[in-house]
Structure 1
Amino acid sequence: MRLTALLLASALLAGCASTPNNDPSGTWINQAAIDAASASGRLREALLAYGPNLEWQIDPAQRQASYSNGFELAEGRLQAAGEGRWQVTFYGDYQERLSVEDGQLVQVASEYWPEQQFTRVDSKEGPAPLGSRFEQALYRDYLGGDWLIEEGIGQGGLVRFQVDGQVEGLPGAERFALCLAGDCAAMSGENDSLWLQAGDQGSPWLFVHEGNQLRIFEAQNRAQFDEMPEYQPGPQRWLLKRRQP
């Protein structure tokens, strides 16, 4: 009898475990874009291919759903649209459709966007500003680890890019931010760019991420003084090489 009861309990637990989790609550990030950027080194290309949206935060109890695309934040009203499916209505009656499939949040293809998929992040980390979870995961996967300055100011030193946007060991910089979308992307064209800042002073830089090498170039403005800046790579300032664990 005891063995039968244990087998029955195991079967019930297995059945529960195989039931899809249709709960959309929590924070979801575009891990596919991060993985593509980490594999290829080309950040803008990966964001365009797998974005444009980077993070969703969903609260069914409050009937709220918000997303970030790295430049804009949008908050909408969440409504159930069948089992495992939801509709989000934004200002002006603009709508998006969501579903949870195999543990992934799917933003259904629409006339505005292609289909996009998002991975839920650990809820134990607590609430965070919209978009910050994606940035933290990107900084960890794309720039994480120890980088050695092979060429440039501070040659021989170690550089660490932290998930909170701090940078250690890069001369003249205390904080950094990767360009994800918006004006910085428009001004950089096809080039990847980042912002480096020390104190209240900062400036844009262009970079090339190739395998375990990171080349950082001065951003030279080719536009006229009355035009929107148009940055092209100037002289290389640093060559960093990531140390293998």
Structure 2
Amino acid sequence: MRNALALLLLATWLSGCTSQANRDPSGIWINQAAIDAAAQGGSLREALEAYGPNLEWRIDGPRQLASFTNGFELDEGQLVAEPDARWRVDFYGDYHQQLRLKGDQLLQEESESGPEQRFDRPTVKVAVGAPPGSSFEQTLYAAYLGGTWKIKQGTGTGGLVLFHPDGKVEGLPGAERYALCLAGDCAAMSGEYDSLWLQLGEQGNSWIFKRDGEQLEIFEALNRAQADEMPDYTPGKPRWLLGRD
């Protein structure tokens, strides 16, 4: 009886070890918390600041590689497995991040460079070979700007506008592509304001926008900087007021 009990306990222990070892974190993980906060209909900048800075992880267990993007920069490091479903990512310059699995989430542990962050598997499928950050970006675009908008004021009043997750826009006069500013130079240039890029053909411009619930107001970006300085945008003349039912 004792031998049978011992064997049973050993098998249970080995099964648990195997289960932990088989928990491969490979794949894409996105900052769903930031997306959910933005989807409430407020400031995109504030949502990203509250739940960022990192927006997406891509992990390749077999090749022992891991990379993350904050919407502007991409950093890739060496993935090192540790006990208890934990991993260390070693980056150039003696910089490290600690990752672990908790349930269905990937946790980036608190460090000197930032707070603890939680990441989820994306439900939106992106094209094979899509650039890093595409899964986060397209999920955000669908949650933040998805649905049908109506032009209440401005050029094309009464028309319907569709913002597609892949960056295409239909119905907004003078634009066929758009991109929300997530981080980097565009964020520095717009300061406290949210901004987006609108493009038609090869020509495009920055715009300031304000989201308030089911309303989206888009302003011309007025540059307050001198010609030899980095642009410093502030809301200028209102161009469109969009509403979503």
Same fold? TM cut 0.5: yes
Residue 144 of structure 2 aligns with an amino acid whose one-letter code is: Y
Q: Shift in Å at residue 120 of structure 1?
A: 1.0
CA distance in 1, matches of 2:33, 2:56: 12
Q: What residue is the counterpart of 1:238 in the other structure?
A: 240
Q: 1:152 aligns with which of 141, 151, 154?
A: 154
Q: Shift in Å at residue 137 of structure 1?
A: 0.1
Is the alpha carbon distance of 1:187 and 1:35 closer, same or farther for their aligned partners in structure 2, counting shifts above 3 Å? Answer: same
Which residues in structure 2 correspond to 1:121-136 (within 5 Å)?
121-122=122-123, 128-136=130-138
Residue 23 of structure 2 aligns with an amino acid whose one-letter code is: N
The DSSP-based 3-state class of the residue aligned with 1:61 is coil
CA distance in 2, matches of 1:105, 1:228: 37
Q: What residue is the counterpart of 1:184 in the other structure?
A: 186
Q: What residue is the counterpart of 1:85 in the other structure?
A: 86
Q: What residue is the counterpart of 1:109 in the other structure?
A: 110
Q: Which moved more, 1:81-90 or 1:134-143?
A: 81-90
Q: Shift in Å at residue 242 of structure 1?
A: 0.9
Q: What residue is the counterpart of 1:9 in the other structure?
A: none
Is the alpha carbon distance of 1:68 and 1:242 closer, same or farther for their aligned partners in structure 2, counting shifts above 3 Å? Answer: same
Q: 1:194 aligns with which of 189, 193, 196?
A: 196
Q: What residue is the counterpart of 1:4 in the other structure?
A: none
CA distance in 2, matches of 1:140, 1:166: 11
**Contact 1:206/1:218 (<8 A) preserved:** yes
CA distance in 2, matches of 1:132, 1:214: 23
Q: What residue is the counterpart of 2:61 in the other structure?
A: 60
The DSSP-based 3-state class of the residue aligned with 2:231 is coil
1:87-133: CA deviation from partner (whole Å, max 9, x where unpaired): 00111221100001121111001001111110012597655321000
The list of structure 1 runs, each at least 4 consecutive aligned residues, that deviate by more than 3 angstroms after superposition, is 19-22, 122-128
**TM-score of the two chains, using structure 2 as the length reference:** 0.88
> For structure 1, which runs of at least 5 residues remain unmatched after alignment?
1-15
**Contact 2:38/2:47 (<8 A) preserved:** yes
Q: What residue is the counterpart of 1:70 in the other structure?
A: 71
**Contact 2:125/2:135 (<8 A) preserved:** no
Is the alpha carbon distance of 1:40 and 1:22 closer, same or farther for their aligned partners in structure 2, counting shifts above 3 Å? Answer: farther
1:138-188: CA deviation from partner (whole Å, max 9, x where unpaired): 000000000000100001100000011000000000100000000000000
> For structure 2, which runs of at least 5 residues remain unmatched after alignment?
1-15
Q: What residue is the counterpart of 1:211 in the other structure?
A: 213
1:195-223: CA deviation from partner (whole Å, max 9, x where unpaired): 00000100000001111100000000011
**Contact 2:86/2:99 (<8 A) preserved:** yes
RMSD across aligned positions (CA): 1.8
1:213-245: CA deviation from partner (whole Å, max 9, x where unpaired): 0000000001111111100001110000013xx
Q: What is the percentage of aligned positions where both structures have the same residue?
A: 63
**Contact 1:23/1:100 (<8 A) preserved:** no
The DSSP-based 3-state class of the residue aligned with 1:177 is strand
Residue 171 of structure 1 aligns with an amino acid whose one-letter code is: P
Instruction: Provide the aligned length of Structure 1 versus Structure 2.
Output: 227
CA distance in 2, matches of 1:91, 1:122: 31
**Contact 1:25/1:60 (<8 A) preserved:** yes
1:22 partnered with 2:23: yes
Q: Shift in Å at residue 41 of structure 1?
A: 1.7
